[in-house]
Amino acid sequence: MSARDAERALRTALSRGGDFAELFWERHETLQLVLDDGRIEDAITGVDQGAGIRVTNGERTTYANGNVTDVDDIMSLAGRAAGSVSDGGELHEAARLAPDELERTHPVAIDPRSVPVERKVALLKKANEVARAFDPRVIQATVSYAESCQDVLVSNSDGTHRTDLRVRVNFAVNVVAKRGEVLESGFEAVRGTRGFEMLGEDVIVEAATTAAHRAVQNVGAEPAPAGTYTVVLSSEAGGTLIHESVGHGLEADLNLKGLSVYSGRIGEKVASELITVVDDGRDPGQRGTAAMDDEGTPTQRTVLIEKGVLRTYLSDRRHSEKLGIKRSGNARRESFRYLPICRMTNTMIERGESDPDQILSSVKDGVFVKKMGGGQVDVVSGNFAFEITECFRIRDGKLAEPLRGATLVGQGPKLMSEIDMVGWDLGYSTGTCGKDGQGAPVADAQPTLRIPKVVVGGKLK
Amino acid sequence: MTQRLSNDEVIDRALSALRSAGARTAEVFLREAQSGTVETKDGEIEVVIARGERGLGVRVLDGERMGFAHSSDLAAAGIEACVEQSRRMSRITEPDADLRIASRALDVADLAIYHAGLERRALADRGAIALAVEKAARGADPRITHFRKTSYLDAEVTTIIATTTGVRASYRETTCGAMTSPVATSNGERQIGYHGEGARRLEDLDPAAIGARAAKRATDKLGAKPFATQKLPVVLDPWMAQSLLGAIAPLFSADNVLKGRSLFANKVGSKVANERVTIVDDARRKGGLRSAPFDGEGTPTTTRTLVDKGVLRGYLTNMKTANKMSTSSSGNARRGSYASPSRIGPSNFYIQAGVDDPKTMVARLDRALAVTSLLNLHTIDPVSGEFSLGATGTFLEKGAPVHPVQGITIAGNLTDLLSSVVSVGTDLVFGPSGLGSPTLLISELSIGGT
């Protein structure tokens, strides 16, 4: 799509009034291979191409979107968006587009589309073999490979005209183990905004081994006891905690509406001095990385909480203006079917100064979380919950028996103020974040942390 | 401008491309959807979204190997490329002798899922519904101070399936829905509520009731206190019960059963739930939100009792798993979009109404917890059946509310949950995702707290 065509679409979009217009276009090519029950069961490929035209007029936004094959389709969307603008008021001219190139922190050495499918199939088979050979209690394995190549163009009436190509690869292993009547599953994934080079055989073997180990360990584990415990969250556990307990609460749209426990608190102490929280959309190769957000704003590293003090929110164009904060490049959308919303990219608690081993040995009786799964937060009350997929009892500063079926719940600002030890290590996890019905690829990271008292959900005998 | 092919022309082109390529068993699936969304804030329309979508999914069964490709490019070249990609994909997968492409002609029943005119409504009419929901929530209680979001959405969808083996059928459907998430404020404490409903036609949507219920969800949580770790009887209202029922559905999937991933494997004829529990999957329910005349691979849908008075009677199947189990498909190959192959899933999946009055079922209990919201439902692992969820609730004594609680967990196993249902209400309600349940009383669950 040329800058001239984009200009034409933006002019049409503003032809009935409105103070800002934007064109978002994407072409998304995907391939998914699934090995299940010992055989390659699914091979799926597809192309999804579409566009959305947004017009804002005062407090009202109209958005027309759909699948498009050519420029005429885009012009018809622009006409449709303009048609929904009522009381347009003064007419605004779209600025001349000023195309520019953004620096990429997500280099792709090997475009996955150039790799023969046989090599991808071989990786799936290898992972399946490794997982099944791990232990006789392993009864089932599902291994999947997915590649996603999303070409994006954003043009707007302020003159922005930028493109981005996000190449993402996702390799996941899910293993089921059985002991008597008890079934448990174990999961591990390798995901990033990178090319095929990230899937070396060693990486695949490790993922399959980890998933199998988790399933087998959980199937032999005791149910976690419900109650309040001292918890050590290993850096290996990933960053679901920061994502749920703090991250969502710092999204600018929720703060403008006064919906977050962090609303109106910039400059205030909202966490322990040991806590610094950063969102970095440029973290090389990570799952939430891109050159620009879905409004064409370059991504960046944003310090959200600095030594316990709230500094800013995760923002898009509109909310950064309304809140008078710097635009942070956090406007993201699942596809052209949606308006962008404020959300995280790669979010982390920065490294601290404690020795991770000493954090563990400091706890006489508690719970050690080795891997976290998904989570959810109610941003209004700050109450959050996340799944624990691998954990152990701590007795006398050492790891004791494994536990299964646990959840950790707490309230964001309270928990962040109580963390009293932060390790010098750092571990990542990846996932797909859901907000307002849209999914977005993200990564989270944290060092090893100690929480003096927190509710661990489990069963009572 | 390139000529836009009609839906039937797209199907014809795809079938003819398949024939020229020598694909003898293949299926073409097209879905077209037009939808409109309006979001409101403080009595004004804030966002208007018009969405159009049309795409094609092609499955090729080459011998015993299945390939799948999809495309939103429905120009002639795009259709041909999609067919070619699907053939290429079929050479990657491994053989399964039980795979089939539908070949029996379909009789499309009228299930009252289409009501003309919904999609042509004026923007102002759509906005008025969302505004009525917001107004009802605000008017329900003076402590409702603001909103996360209030929205109304409607859609008109056309689905067409055709196979090289003689099946060709289509249906249209309409849906509309409204939801709101109001915030209640009192003495510096804020709590959010949520409620949404869906229907096949506007007359069945009640904006005032949606707003009022959402407001009550928020105000019921005000004054929440921490709660001690303990075991208690738990009351699930129809919406909370629907959430957990949704997590139970994968246990009925024949695919999970055959692959050793379901706790219901080898349990047909055995007791898997309390005798008060009967679970039905009914894709033929008139006006049901998940009703459809045929499923995602062109098999007629059915109505089935899966659990009859606590006893497991069968599983949800598609053609492949039905072949493996020497039975016929129950028509549960559900297809989320043209871009995804079908997966086994429920349609209108519900627990039948029982005989207990939902108000009095807890009155005889000294202490109980009524759950008012659940966090982390998406993390329930249907394989192990274990669940441990964040929750809020209301602590009850002799059925009367004492105080709301927050920051707790409820935990158990899905199979134990079904066995522990000791009362089933008369108040069956269907939710926006086709799940239905009456109020349930669970004899005991572990609650994690202080």
Instruction: Say yes or no: B118 and B208 in one domain.
Output: yes
HEC states along chain B?
Answer: CCCCCCHHHHHHHHHHHHHHCCCCCEEEEEEEEEEEEEEEECCEEEEEEEEEEEEEEEEEEECCEEEEEEECCCCHHHHHHHHHHHHHHHCCCCCCCCCCCCCCCCCCCCCCCCCCCCCCCCHHHHHHHHHHHHHHHHHHCCCEEEEEEEEEEEEEEEEEEEECCCCEEEEEEEEEEEEEEEEEEECCEEEECCEEEEECCHHHCCHHHHHHHHHHHHHCCCCCECCCCEEEEEEECHHHHHHHHHHHHHHHEHHHHHCCCCCCCCCCCCECCCCCCCEEEECCCCCCCCCCCECCCCCECCEEEEEECCEECCCECCHHHHHHCCCCCCCCEECCCCCCCCEECCCCEEECCCCECCCCCCCCCCEEEEEEEEECHHHCCCCCCEEEEEEEEEEEECCEEEEEEEEEEEEEEHHHHHHCEEEEECCCEECCCCEEECCEEEEEEEEECC
Q: Which domain-ending residue is among B217, B235, B253? A: B217
Position A86 pLDDT exceeds 80: no
Q: What is the pLDDT of residues B292-350, one digit of tens each?
A: 999 999 999 999 999 999 999 999 999 999 999 999 999 999 999 999 989 999 999 99
Contact A42 B409 (CB under 8 A): no
Q: Chain A partners of B420 at a C-beta cutoff of 8 Å?
A: none
Position B1 pLDDT exceeds 70: no
Taking only residues 389 to 448 of chain B, the set having a beta carbon closer than 8 angstroms to any beta carbon of chain A reads 389-390, 392, 406-412, 446-448
Cα B327 from Cα B342, distance rounded (Å): 19
Structure tokens at B196: 């949404």
Mean of the per-residue pLDDT values for chain A?
94
Instruction: Say yes or no: B353 and B441 in one domain.
Output: yes
Q: Chain B partners of A459 at a C-beta cutoff of 8 Å?
A: 388, 411-412, 446
Averaged pLDDT for residues A396-415? 92
Structure tokens at A60: 């009202």
pLDDT at A93: 79
Q: Which amino acid is at A308?
A: G
The Cα of A382 is separated from the nearest Cα of chain B by a number of Å equal to 10
B417 located within any domain: yes
Contact A387 B388 (CB under 8 A): yes
Cα B118 from Cα B129, distance rounded (Å): 13
Place B2 in a pLDDT band, splitting at 50, 70 and 90. low
B86 located within any domain: yes
Averaged pLDDT for residues B128-144? 97
Contact B2 A61 (CB under 8 A): no
pLDDT at A248: 95
pLDDT at A88: 55
B95 located within any domain: yes
Closest by Cβ to A380, choosing from B47, B183, B390: B183
Mutate: best of A39, A47, A73, A322, partner B, most B CBs <10 A: A47
Q: Which domain-ending residue is among B171, B189, B217? A: B217
Place A405 in a pLDDT band, splitting at 50, 70 and 90. confident
Q: Chain A partners of B72 at a C-beta cutoff of 8 Å?
A: 47-50, 67, 69
Residues 6+ apart with CB under 8 A from B287: B111, B112, B113, B199, B200, B201, B204
Instruction: Say yes or no: B374 and B403 in one domain.
Output: yes
Mutate: best of B29, B44, B46, B48, partner A, most A CBs <10 A: B48
Q: What is the pLDDT of residues A299-314, one digit of tens each?
A: 999 999 999 999 999 9
Matching residue, tokens 């991504």:
A299
Cα B389 from Cα B380, distance rounded (Å): 8
Contact B448 A337 (CB under 8 A): no
Contact B80, B15 (CB under 8 A): no
Q: How many domains does chain B have?
A: 2
| Cα nearest neighbour of B59 on chain A | A44
B1 located within any domain: no
Q: What is the pLDDT of residues A12-43, one digit of tens each?
A: 999 999 999 999 999 999 999 999 999 999 99
Instruction: Say yes or no: B211 and B273 in one domain.
Output: no
**What is the complex's ipTM, to 2 decimals?**
0.93
Instruction: Say yes or no: B49 and B195 in one domain.
Output: yes
Is B121 in the A-facing interface, judged by CB distances under 8 Å? no
| Cα nearest neighbour of B230 on chain A | A460
Mean of the per-residue pLDDT values for chain B?
95
Cα A451 from Cα A242, distance rounded (Å): 13
Closest by Cβ to B379, choosing from A176, A373, A404: A373
B60 located within any domain: yes
Averaged pLDDT for residues A151-174? 96
pLDDT at B60: 97
Distance of CA B242 to the CA centre of its chain: 10
Domain boundaries, position B35: 7-217
Averaged pLDDT for residues B71-97? 96
pLDDT at A97: 86
Contact A65 B49 (CB under 8 A): yes
Instruction: Say yes or no: B144 and B285 in one domain.
Output: no
Contact B1 A70 (CB under 8 A): yes
The Cα of A353 is separated from the nearest Cα of chain B by a number of Å equal to 30
Task: Provide the CATH number for the domain around residue B188.
Answer: 3.30.2290.10
Instruction: Say yes or no: B201 and B260 in one domain.
Output: no
Structural domains of chain A, with CATH: 3-31+44-99 (3.30.160), 227-457 (no CATH)
Q: What is the pLDDT of residues B182-236, one digit of tens each?
A: 999 999 999 999 999 999 999 999 999 999 999 999 999 999 999 999 999 999 9
The share of chain A scoring above pLDDT 90, in percent, equals 85
Cα A124 from Cα A121, distance rounded (Å): 5
Closest by Cβ to A376, choosing from B259, B261, B390: B390
Q: What is the pLDDT of residues A188-212, one digit of tens each?
A: 999 999 999 999 999 999 999 999 9
The share of chain A scoring above pLDDT 70, in percent, equals 99
A109 HSE (CA, 13 A, CB side): 7
Instruction: Say yes or no: B292 and B381 in one domain.
Output: yes
B2 located within any domain: no
pLDDT at A87: 62
HEC states along chain A?
Answer: CCHHHHHHHHHHHCCCCCCEEEEEEEEEEEEEEEEECCEEEEEEEEEEEEEEEEEEECCEEEEEEEECCCHHHHHHHHHHHHHCCCCCCCCCCCCCCEECCCCCCCCCCCCHHHCCHHHHHHHHHHHHHHHHHCCCCEEEEEEEEEEEEEEEEEEECCCEEEEEEEEEEEEEEEEEEEECCEEEEEEEEEEECCCHHHCCHHHHHHHHHHHHHHHHHHHCCEECECEEEEEEECHHHCCHHHHHHHHHHHEHHHHHCCCCCCCCCCCCECCCCCCCEEEECCCCCCCCCCCECCCCCECCEEEEEECCEECCCECCHHHHHHHCCCCCCCEECCCCCCCCEECCCEEEECCCCECHHHHHHCCCEEEEEEEEEEEEEECCCCEEEEEEEEEEEEECCEEEEEEECEEEEEEHHHHHHHCCEEECCCEEEEEEEEECCEEEEEEEEECCEEEEEEEEECECC
Q: What is the pLDDT of residues A269-301, one digit of tens each?
A: 999 999 999 999 999 999 999 999 999 999 999
B317 located within any domain: yes
Question: What number of C-beta contacts closer than 8 Å exist between A and B?
Answer: 264
Q: Which amino acid is at A35?
A: L
Q: Which domain-ending residue is among B196, B217, B238? A: B217
Instruction: Say yes or no: B259 and B174 in one domain.
Output: no
Instruction: Say yes or no: B301 and B351 in one domain.
Output: yes
pLDDT at B303: 97
Instruction: Say yes or no: B416 and B374 in one domain.
Output: yes
The Cα of B266 is separated from the nearest Cα of chain A by a number of Å equal to 11
Instruction: Say yes or no: B16 and B108 in one domain.
Output: yes
Is B449 in the A-facing interface, judged by CB distances under 8 Å? yes
Closest by Cβ to B388, choosing from A37, A44, A457: A457
